[in-house]
Amino acid sequence: MTSRDEGGSGGALVGGAERTNEEYFASYEDVEIHRLMVSDAPRTQAYAAAISKNKHLFQGKVAMDVGAGTGILSMLLAAAGARRVHAVEASGMAGVIQQVAEDNGFGDVIQVHHAKVEDITLPADEKVDIIVSEWMGFYLLHESMLNSVISARDRFLSEDGTVFPSEARIYACPCSLQTLYREQINFWDDVYGFNMTAVKNYALKSKMIKPEVCLVKECDLLAEPACVKRFNLRWVTEEEVKLFAEKTFVGVTLPGAYQGLCLWFECDFDGREYDEEGQELGALITLSTSPMTPATHWKQTVVVLGYGAAHTPGQPALLCQENLNASLDSDTSASPAMNSSDKTQVHTAPPQKTHENGSRGMETETCDNTIQPGYANWVEKDEVVGWKLLFAQSEENTRHYTMTVEMLDPEEVEHPIPCVCPVPRCAIIAKMMEQDEDGNDIIDCT
């Protein structure tokens, strides 16, 4: 294992073509994309619940909807009692929003701005009381509008204003990808009696070039999910989202073939506050895209680690990327905005242990963890695995990130504090940090 201080192997990043702003906004003139997003029940219901259960934040207030799309969120804001809603939409859908507002009796409440939020001005330097936006992309950041939301917040939000969602978190978890391997990789093991090993290796390496957007079954997760990054949307700065890296170690809870790293996100809408009489108002609503909750159009994002591909020992097992790849690992439907550059490098460290390949039956038929010979990186219960995730925002387009995944040796790399892995030292430190001086539980996923 070579070193860059953390004990992982290094490598050069490779770039790719990116869509222009014009192409990006034009893609959102496709009504099918909006149908897909609005029909995403967990997504739309979370926003509807966050607004309806926190009406005290909207009644008689000025709100802004950044990236208004069809205007569905703007109408929810108006229905909750907002006296004015600034609906900001850069695509040609802006003209449709105005008609939708008038058709639903909100023509005098919803004011449409056909422009990027960075380019608009509000009358008489008006401030808004709350900003609502569905800005999230795959694994939270890919094709997201986070920088636009931060810009709108810094320019237009009042000092005591609110941002919905209020917090966003990225999670990661080791996973098995047996369905993907069986259907798309091991297919090449038996092709009319010919030796297609070279094609098999090429197929696996091509999967490693870019993240897979797919639905991962809960029973394919090999450990407890780790929250690797959180953003407080009221205070996060553009500088903080340009470049960040997180090291994570976890203990395996389910023996299986460790073939990928599964990423997803959660967003909180926290409208809770207290009135003058000390009574709590509002509610906390969470939108989750995890494998443990109903599927969304974001699905999950998987980095295929490529164990079993033919490559020289110690050599990075791949390498770069072009696009997010829609996988058929589970039943999926088309997802929006998946044809722009998204960059991933996967660096693999030498195997921590060598285990005999075997098979493991499941109690249900929903997961197939049968080991595929030569392509499994078998891990046992309580074994510690680690990785480093680095996200670097493109200087040319803030919606694009280079995501680098580096596998770490838990015996050679210093663990972060706190660390959730079962290594005795980490477990002792974590226990000591569970309570603060007042005896209150500490929750910190950064």
What one-character-per-residue DSSP string does 33-97 give?
Answer: HHHHHHT-HHHHHHHHHHHHTTGGGTTT-EEEEES-TTSHHHHHHHHTT-SEEEEE--STTHHHH
Strands 157-164 and 128-133: parallel
Could you say which of 102, 118, 134, 406 is catalytic? 134
Instruction: List C-alpha distances in Å: 330 to 46, 59, 295.
Output: 24, 43, 11
Task: Say what the pTM is.
Answer: 0.82
Give the pair of three-digit tokens for residue 299: 């699905």
Residue 224 is among the residues annotated as catalytic for this protein: no
What pLDDT shows up at residue 329? 41
Could you say which of 18, 23, 32, 143 is catalytic? 143
Q: Which of 249, 76, 258 lies closest to 176, judged by CA? A: 258
Report the distance separating Cα 209 and Cα 223, nearest Å.
24
Give the pair of three-digit tokens for residue 35: 């149908």
What pLDDT shows up at residue 17? 38
Q: Which of 345, 421, 348, 420 lies closest to 390, judged by CA? A: 345
What pLDDT shows up at residue 24? 63
What pLDDT shows up at residue 269? 98
Q: Which residue has 């422009």 as its token pair? A: 115
362: how many CB neighbours lie within 10 A of its CB?
13
What pLDDT shows up at residue 343? 44
Please provide residue 33's backbone torsions phi and psi, each rounded to the nearest 5 degrees.
-60, -45
Residue extents of the structural domains in the chain: 1-18+167-414
Residue 143 is among the residues annotated as catalytic for this protein: yes
DSSP symbol at 223: B
Helix 41-52 × helix 31-38 angle, to 10°: 70
What pLDDT shows up at residue 29? 67
- Point out the residues of the chain with pLDDT beneath 50: 1-18, 309-323, 327-366, 368-374, 437-438, 443
**Superfamily for 1-18+167-414?**
Hnrnp arginine n-methyltransferase1 (2.70.160.11)
What pLDDT shows up at residue 315? 31
